[in-house]
Amino acid sequence: MGWFTREKAPIAQNDEKKVRVPEGLWTKCKSCSQTIYTKEVEKNLNVCPKCEYHFRIPAKERLDLILDPETFTELDRDLESIDFLEFQDTKSYQDRIQAAMQKGNGKEAVVCGEGLLEGTPIQIAVFEFSFMGGSMGSVVGEKITRVIERAIERRTPAVVFSSSGGARMQESIISLMQMAKTAAALARLRDAGLPYISVLTDPTTGGVTASFAMLGDIIMAEPKALIGFAGPRVIEQTIRQKLPEGFQRAEYLLEHGMVDLIVPRKEMRQRLSQVVNMLYRPTTAKAGKATRS
């Protein structure tokens, strides 16, 4: 005979009374580890209201933040990478491309086009980090080059927002060739007397850093963005030394003269417009070369 008799099931077994928290309701900051109401983060332009950490944002969202409303026209959107080397690791390169496309963030790692920045026409490229880590392959290099060439043809400034893990290994030397290709295009832009503004966001690394990202007439960066060629862990393992605090962050590069400005996301549109208008004179550009201040 049992000592106790259970008259009804424990409350925990009643699934109908369990409290379910909707997914995505809260966001944990990667910098300060605070858990914040997601809508509060979004309202703050995807910047942590506690520590000012800048979350990564999609290319289309950044374009909406920077350009005048309904002025952006996307160009070269149908260019797609192909698996010309038939590269295979744990997956085929073609499968990786298709998986990236299915995320719904476009057909490549950069979105390019033209629009108005407080009334001034610009050619613009914005990286989409969610597409294979923003890696630079043949199509990315071609799209960036076309942005620069259109700036020369239409006599407007060129602006590139970088966010990349570097060259795309699945395209081997063809990917690395894009470094020289984009740099050569920027040399032609400079000869035409037209400004190029490079904006570095988290992260900007590898071959992108070693080419067009660091060739701006003005180089701007978001706060605490990781900027460098090799990653900090790779460097530490190679030189067997502890790196300085904040090494390869935007603030460190500003202190050492590698970037010109660090601009919070809330101020980016205004500051970028100021820089463009300081360097670009559209009235003189129509007659010949644009003048630089």
Specify the pLDDT at position 288. 44
How far CA 139 is from CA of 81, 107, 210, in Å, comes to 6, 10, 18
Q: Percentage of the chain with pLDDT > 90?
A: 83
pTM of the model: 0.88
Does residue 130 contact residue 103 with C-beta atoms inside 8 Å?
yes
Q: What gap in Å lies between CA 23 and CA 8, rounded to an integer?
A: 32
User: Comparing 29 with 20, which gets the higher pLDDT?
Assistant: 29
How many angstroms separate the Cα of 138 from the Cα of each of 3, 67, 170, 178? 76, 27, 10, 7
**pLDDT at residue 254 greater than cutoff 70:** yes
Q: Domains in the chain, please, with CATH?
A: 21-55 (no CATH), 56-287 (3.90.226.10)
Percent of the chain with pLDDT over 70: 89
